[in-house]
């Protein structure tokens, strides 16, 4: 047999065993949330009883402050998996948050690494974090624990670095494609963000076997951003009407009267979409170019979206509000585009701080609605598609957590990109 296949199979078995052990360990902390993820819906009261019971057992067994804290910080993770109307979980989340913040200083004296976990959990819950970036954060945090299993740690580091190497190779391919298109050099008004585009694709699907998805999504995001900039910054009303008509006709003959910039944009869109359709036909034997060219959605598809609109509407709301929160100060200084926070301030006469807090509350409520939709089994959409939707929203939180990492990347966002795509995790030696 091929030695490489034997090694690959062995690694997969080891990773599976490690994953199983981790799942068993975390079931003790996330019992309420596991049912929701799997599509069952235990009532909030039963989940609260579960947490209370765990606390009593902890105290009865005489576990120390560190063990109790490790268990209690899992409770906010579970509460963020709740649905709309589960007020008991909201109360529990609020109480636990106050409790942990109050004792954070004491925890830091006893165990600095545990205090770091508490701060991390309070800042943004695990359910809303970008999976691949969170994996690296967890590896690095686990390495600082005195009770770390170094064999398991080394395996996790090797796995992360191997997948990162695959991602880096894909990014190099995307960079070559972007340079070949020449759009950044010829269109000075567009955002040159190919690395950030690929970062988003990894956030949506990181598994190495889905390379084609990440490449296709990176190209798609790049083209969406270009067209967005064309409509927002560059084109006049007449030019944009002609550009829209050319896209609807999907013909090179329709761009003769467009400016050079808009002709270049259309050619980039036209060639990329046709190339993706060709690759799909070559690999899957399915010709999708006719569907890609159609401007009108079918009645069957429209009815399907009408019946399951929430799966796409709620992520869009979170996207919009996270973006607005990240750029609220800039919006108040003269951005002519209507945004949620200035509009809400104008309607309610509230301060910027209170308006932002209200938007955060709205994000929380929208997450609850989305949680219920994603946990439902009554949907025509596949589980992989629903996972992509969830991971997209997680990536949105990552991009806008400390500001607009896409429009105005700062040092924190650059460090995240480096950690995810460029800098391997250092191997830990005993």
pLDDT band at 53 (very low <50, low <70, confident <90, very high): very low
pLDDT at residue 156 above 60?
A: yes
Q: What are the residue boundaries of the structural domains of the chain, listed by start?
A: 21-128
pLDDT band at 82 (very low <50, low <70, confident <90, very high): confident
What pLDDT sits at residue 336? Answer: 55
What pLDDT sits at residue 167? Answer: 98
pLDDT at residue 28 above 60?
A: no
Helix (H) or strand (E) holding 183: helix 183-186
**What is the rounded distance in angstroms from the CA atom of residue 312 to the CA atom of residue 292?**
20
pLDDT band at 198 (very low <50, low <70, confident <90, very high): very high
pLDDT digit string (tens) for 199-253?
A: 999 999 999 999 999 999 999 999 999 999 999 888 889 999 999 999 888 888 8
What pLDDT sits at residue 75? Answer: 61
What pLDDT sits at residue 380? Answer: 87
pLDDT digit string (tens) for 259-291?
A: 999 999 999 999 998 888 888 788 777 777 766
pLDDT at residue 325 above 90?
A: yes
Q: Are 205 and 164 in contact (CB under 8 A)?
A: no
**What is the rounded distance in angstroms from the CA atom of residue 103 to the CA atom of residue 109?**
10
For residues 59 and 308, which has the higher predicted lDDT (pLDDT)?
308
Using CA atoms of 202, 208, 209, 211 in order, give the dihedral in degrees to the nearest 10.
50
Beta-carbon contacts of residue 265 (< 8 Å; ≥ 6 apart): 183, 187, 226, 227, 230, 243
Q: What percentage of the chain reaches a pLDDT higher than 70?
A: 77
**What is the rounded distance in angstroms from the CA atom of residue 230 to the CA atom of residue 252?**
18
pLDDT at residue 40 above 50?
A: no
Q: Which CATH superfamily is domain 21-128 in?
A: Terpene synthase, N-terminal domain (1.50.10.130)
Q: Are 29 and 96 in contact (CB under 8 A)?
A: no
Please state the rounded mean pLDDT for residues 123-142: 92
For residues 84 and 72, which has the higher predicted lDDT (pLDDT)?
84
Q: Is 269 helix (H, G, I), strand (E, B) or coil?
A: helix
- Start-to-end CA distance of the chain, whole Å, equals 34
pLDDT band at 66 (very low <50, low <70, confident <90, very high): low
pLDDT digit string (tens) for 360-384?
A: 999 999 999 999 999 888 888 889 9
Q: Average pLDDT, whole number, for the chain?
A: 81
């Amino acid at each position: 047999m091929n030695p490489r296949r034997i090694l690959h199979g062995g690694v997969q078995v080891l990773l599976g065993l490690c994953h199983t052990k981790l799942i068993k360990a975390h079931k003790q902390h996330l019992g309420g949330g596991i049912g929701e993820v799997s599509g069952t819906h235990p009532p909030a009261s039963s989940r609260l009883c579960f947490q209370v019971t765990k606390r009593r057992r902890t105290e009865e067994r005489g576990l120390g402050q560190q063990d109790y804290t490790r268990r209690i910080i899992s409770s906010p993770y579970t509460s963020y998996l709740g649905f709309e109307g589960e007020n008991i979980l909201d109360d529990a989340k609020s109480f636990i948050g106050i409790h942990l913040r109050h004792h954070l200083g004491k925890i830091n004296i006893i165990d600095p690494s545990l205090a770091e976990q508490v701060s991390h959990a309070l800042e943004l819950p695990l359910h809303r974090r970008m999976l691949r970036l969170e994996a690296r954060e967890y590896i690095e945090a686990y390495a600082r624990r005195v009770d770390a299993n170094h064999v398991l740690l080394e395996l996790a580091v090797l796995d992360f670095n191997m997948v990162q190497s695959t991602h880096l190779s894909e990014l190099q391919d995307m960079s070559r494609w972007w340079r070949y298109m020449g759009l950044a050099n010829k269109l000075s008004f567009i955002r040159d963000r190919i690395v950030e585009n690929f970062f988003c694709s990894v956030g949506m699907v990181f598994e190495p076997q889905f390379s084609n998805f990440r490449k296709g999504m990176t190209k798609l995001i790049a083209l969406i951003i270009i067209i967005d900039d064309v409509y927002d910054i560059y084109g006049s009303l007449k030019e944009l009407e002609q550009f829209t008509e050319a896209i609807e006709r999907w013909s090179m003959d329709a761009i003769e009267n467009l400016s050079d910039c808009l002709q270049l944009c259309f050619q980039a869109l036209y060639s990329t979409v046709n190339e993706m359709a060709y690759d799909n036909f070559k690999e899957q034997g399915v010709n999708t170019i006719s569907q890609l060219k159609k401007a009108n959605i079918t009645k069957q598809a429209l009815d399907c979206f009408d019946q399951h609109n929430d799966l796409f509407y709620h992520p869009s709301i979170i996207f919009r509000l996270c973006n607005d929160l990240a750029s609220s100060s800039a919006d108040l200084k003269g951005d002519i585009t209507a945004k949620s926070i200035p509009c809400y301030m104008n309607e309610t006469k509230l301060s910027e701080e209170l308006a932002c807090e209200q938007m955060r509350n709205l994000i929380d409520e929208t997450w609850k609605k989305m949680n219920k939709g994603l946990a439902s089994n009554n949907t025509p959409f596949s589980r992989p598609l629903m996972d992509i939707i969830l991971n997209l929203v997680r990536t949105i939180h990552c991009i806008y957590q400390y500001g607009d990492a896409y429009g105005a990347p700062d040092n924190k966002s650059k460090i995240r990109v480096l950690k995810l795509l460029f800098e391997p995790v250092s191997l830990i030696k005993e």
